[in-house]
Amino acid sequence: MEQTLLGGRYQVVRRLGSGGFSRTFLVTDIHLPNHPRCVIKQLKVQDKDTGTLDMARRLFDTEARVLYQLGNHPQIPSLMAHFEEDQEFYLAQEYIEGSRLNRQVEEGKPWSETRVVLLLQEVLEILSFVHRQQVIHRDIKPSNLIRRHRDGKLVLIDFGAVKQVTSSPLLDAETGATNITVAIGTHGYMPNEQYAGKPRFSSDVYAVGILGIRALTGMHPQRLEEDPVTSEIDWRQHAPTVSSSLAAVLDTMVRYDFRDRYPTAQEALEALQNLPNPLHGLVGTQIYQTWMKGANGRGPTFPDDDSNTAVGPTETSEPTAFADDQDSTSLFPVDLAYSNGKGAASQPIAAVEANVSDFQPLPHRRSLVVGSVLGALAIGLVLWRSGLTIALELNGGGVAIPFQAAAVPTLTTDLGLLLPPEEKATFLTRQGDRLLNQGRYPDALATYNEAVEIQPEYAAAYLGRCKTLIALKRPIEAIAACDDALAYSTYYPEAVRSKGNAEEQQGKLLAALALYESTNRLMPAMFEAWLDRGRVLQKLGRSAEALAAVDQAIARNRESAEAWTVRGEATWTLRRYDQTIIALEKALQLNPNYGPAKELRQQARQTLGR
């Protein structure tokens, strides 16, 4: 099989893994320029009778439909192709290069509370989008979450176990057959209703809560006991220092009865965001703070510091749509060992906290770690509430002072100074993204430049620099920055599209069009590239093609006033005036102040007398 082309276009590079129901392969697409990599998932059909093939076809059609629907989210792999060949079924999907979360959630090495909250928040943000599409994932667990190398964001994978929520009756009206879903998921992360084949949105919430408890306790969920009376999970004894507010949220997420849980991921996310910790919304998902050195070279010892744990070595996945084992299921991960330049893997930094109620002086030591001390400096209380640990020591007069007598860093801007180079570059790039979104272009550019100085091969920082230079109307420099991003990341559709934006800004419309078309091939789910393509085609006077492209954009995102306006422009040129009015009314419904739509509607009314 490895010597043939799958689907007539995919050349197998190597097998990534296999499970009870599927195999996955890393492949190259020989029909596209530069032969980009993607992943092929093959359903293994052992019995080729008609009934089995029909069931396999239904499962894969469902997964393909859901993946196409969900692929618009930047943290869900996009679907490239879906095909059947010789009674075998294949999905071609975006290749995610990164590190599986189960390589970081290790047995016996609990995470700090801040780190757990940041993880839960990011997972729930992705899952909220999934639930809004009326989809239940059913297999949330560490091995189905990848920390993407390119930008440090989590990616949710393996939608082979998905269930779409429908209003279909329990019994088929014609056949009388029972429409009951089989139990699919992974032991330890499945609530009781999912075992019974009746998953709900809150079943996913349960799995995310279990993920948080696993990280917080350092224990696999199958090792956690249940209360013999209530059947609730008895986990708090394994995390004695957890704050009561976070514990209450986790307890609600993993209630035995689904009616007592948060009904969807959005409600769980809101509860998490309401925790008394303002740092959660300010710092990116990989920012784990600690002060590593104290006065005179002494540093505090942290009970939950897992800094001796290296990022896992390169590893392939164990994919299958149905998981019975502890944590073996995933679809596309390739774990990367981040080098420290000396051939060894770098070490992740753990967040460190201390609760006021748990504070006790350590015997035989002059230095101590404390979250807040009644009567201490006001800044201590602010930092404690934010989740940042403060390192103090006693001076000659018995007064507690900060280690090194250093100025306390500003939480939202200087926290990255506490990180090692690899994570500092990620922190700075995320900070640059925020500044760019706020329209603070010179500050954003300076931040991206600093990230590049720290990590010269970090593609995400070059992309941020490219976007900022476009915003500053410096397209030639922007193209150079996008080329740098592409030099360090061979598959980077966002950089291809941004380079097209820079070419368009220079008036080089044909060059921009070629780049947008390339982006469409590389990532068909990217709404923005289809819109860019339609806009440029309309500028070139190719309105019929522009209409086709912008319809692709609208199919992926119906909430864009610009997309509806471009559709209005194309249909106006094609003299489809009724469609023009409808498109412009939709654009102004979405954004009543959108200038291009207002101007075109006024022109249409004057011309048509409406």
User: Which parts of the chain have pLDDT scores under 50?
Assistant: 1-2, 166-181, 278-396, 398-416
Scanning the structure block, which residue is given the tokens 């709404």? Answer: 527
Non-local CB neighbours of 570 within 8 Å, separated by 6+ positions: 534, 538, 543, 544, 546, 547, 550
Q: How far, in Å, are 291, 296, 335, 360, 403 from residue 394 at the CA level?
A: 17, 13, 44, 14, 9
The pLDDT value recorded for residue 222 is 87
Non-local CB neighbours of 54 within 8 Å, separated by 6+ positions: none
Structure tokens at 577: 């005036």
The pLDDT value recorded for residue 470 is 97
Among the listed residues 201, 192, 125, the one whose alpha carbon sits nearest the alpha carbon of residue 162: 201
Scanning the structure block, which residue is given the tokens 């997309």? Answer: 563
The pLDDT value recorded for residue 336 is 29
Q: From CA 486, how far away is CA 482, in angstroms rounded?
A: 6
The pLDDT value recorded for residue 47 is 65
The pLDDT value recorded for residue 277 is 54
The pLDDT value recorded for residue 443 is 95
State which H helix or E strand residue 81 sits in. Answer: strand 79-85
Task: Characterize the bridge pairing of strands 367-370 and 154-156.
Answer: unpaired
User: What's the length of the chain?
Assistant: 610
Structure tokens at 463: 């992309």
Q: From CA 593, how far away is CA 332, in angstroms rounded?
A: 43
- The tens digit of pLDDT for each residue in 462-514 reads 999 999 999 999 999 999 999 999 998 877 889 999 999 999 999 999 999 99
Q: From CA 131, how far away is CA 123, in angstroms rounded?
A: 12
The answer to whether the beta carbons of residues 507 and 500 sit under 8 Å apart is: no
Give residue 154's identity as a one-letter amino acid code: L
Give the chain's domains with CATH numbers. 5-94 (3.30.200.20), 98-281 (1.10.510.10), 526-610 (1.25.40.10)
The pLDDT value recorded for residue 534 is 96
Give residue 456's identity as a one-letter amino acid code: P
The pLDDT value recorded for residue 293 is 27
Residues with a catalytic annotation lie at 139
